A and B are shown apart, each in its own frame.
Chain A
């Protein structure tokens, strides 16, 4: 037994009761979901083409959004962790804005930037005849917008925790900075990057507000799983429960894959 579990005898009652309530508060709603799940027809519901459409779209867009976040986010995390530059604190604060911003506001902001009348979108439309809103691309962008901070923060944390002496040693031996990043830094923080990517992917899977605002809602094109849950609740609550269960399983799987770095506080 480690030191912390040995203090159990001294836990004051004013702490233990709210703590148990908090636990129930977090777990009981999930029990409610499981309780109403139509277990016998589960497979039939999952095979429903409407459900499969939404599931496929969500898996595809969340994966593309994660790829986008990796390509853009890892370099940004490296910059924040390894390079001293003026305004670094401000940049770090800006990176976390989508984390605290209501997603629907993020979606509106994307629409006002990339929409047909948007700050940049008007030129995309006039010069290249490209419209982004209401496309699957818009779903990916909305998901990447809200998920990117998760990746950047996770990778930056990993970089700060990594021993910089390996990089210094490589540099001393004549490696250029890009080679050091590729051959030393990246392998060193790979577990952190993987954890960040999984969190990023889970956040993208769950995205609702920014997506419905920026990408609209159309089956097979922009209607993702969370949107489908919301819509089915009006017409077919049982199907909504089944989809919710799928998302719950995905979340649990994410937690399980991260158990060593996020769940255990050791």
Chain B
């Protein structure tokens, strides 16, 4: 409960979101050069690869180097001194560990939100329709580890549903959990809607109502020790621009304005 409160407090603090100014100012970033190193939550893989390529095209001479992983792993790397310019996390609490360590330049802004689905094998052979079905005997489930945002969101959703679930494995980021379904080694995994959509060729997504109680805000920040601060600011502005957000919403992310009120209830 204490922890949930803390998360909500952080969420409210971070709700500034991409400002209107930034949304329309993608043109300002033109002319940025050099390498921009971006550490981003695994669930941003497809979107940020696309945004990175678009950014490079809009800014000749710039190079966006992307590294994806569990937000908690990335936060720990940043706090151990990993050289990077931008950090995009899948939850305010993982972002908070970086801010608390004094490694952020300015306040993080929330740029998108994401929601869990149940990823199942193509065709849903086990006939899974909701969280309760995951406890059926013989159903093998992969979750993210608790310190990873997808893991804490899964825990929140399962608690909300009153479902007590023993997974077969706790994975280090959402893509690893998803890959266990893609490989057919587990029957289901709780992953983000965006991950299931990106892997639509191999998995189906089952929506469930309790996911509304575990929506993750994605904050992004320029890092204090960014070797390329101008590039970092331009990249964050680009992510927040209409072009950047279009890529993200096409991938299935929600913008912070959608369903804003659910944050306060969560």
Contact = CB atoms under 8 A, between A and B. Distances in A.
A234 B76 contact: yes
Chain A interface extent, by class: 10 to 19
A134 B140 contact: yes
B31 to A, nearest CB: 38
Interface stretch (A60-68, A76-84, A110-118): A110-118
A116 B72 contact: no
Contacts of A233: 76
Contacts of B147: 231, 234-235
Contacts of B183: 111, 115, 117
Nearest to A214: B185
Interface in A119-154: 131, 133-134
B169 A218 contact: yes
A216 interface: yes
A217 to B, nearest CB: 5
Contacts of A116: 184-185
A216 B145 CA distance: 11
Nearest to B71: A234
A58 interface: no
B132 interface: no
A218 B165 CA distance: 13
Nearest to B75: A234
A117 B76 contact: no
A224 interface: no
Interface in A207-222: 212, 215-219, 222
B167 interface: yes
Chain B interface extent, by class: 10 to 19
A216 B73 contact: no
A216 B169 contact: yes
Contacts of A131: 140
A224 to B, nearest CB: 13
B142 interface: yes
A219 B166 CA distance: 11
Nearest to B70: A234
A216 B140 contact: no
B72 A234 contact: yes
Contact of B185 (A111, A217, A218, A234): A111
B180 interface: yes
Contact of A234 (B73, B167, B171): B73
Interface string B159-186: 0000000011111100000001001111
Contacts of B186: 134
A111 B167 CA distance: 18
B80 to A, nearest CB: 9
Given A131-B140, A134-B169, A222-B169, A217 B145 contact: yes
Nearest to A231: B145
A117 B182 CA distance: 11
Contacts of B185: 111, 115-117, 133-134
A116 B170 CA distance: 18
B72 A235 contact: yes
B184 A216 contact: no
Interface in B49-72: 72
B189 to A, nearest CB: 11
A218 B180 CA distance: 14
Nearest to A232: B147
A216 B76 contact: no
A217 B184 contact: no
Contacts of B184: 115-117
A21 to B, nearest CB: 23
Contacts of B168: 134, 216, 218
B72 A217 contact: no
Most buried by A among B75, B140, B142, B169: B169
B73 A217 contact: no
Contacts of B142: 216
Nearest to B97: A234
Given A115-B183, A115-B185, A234-B73, 8 more contacts: A115-B184, A117-B184, A117-B185, A134-B140, A216-B142, A216-B170, A218-B167, A218-B169
Closest 7 CB pairs of A and B: A216-B169, A134-B168, A117-B184, A234-B72, A234-B76, A115-B185, A134-B169
22 contacts: A115-B183, A115-B184, A116-B184, A116-B185, A133-B185, A134-B169, A134-B186, A216-B170, A216-B171, A216-B180, A217-B169, A218-B167, A218-B168, A218-B170, A219-B170, A222-B169, A231-B145, A231-B147, A233-B76, A234-B72, A234-B73, A234-B76
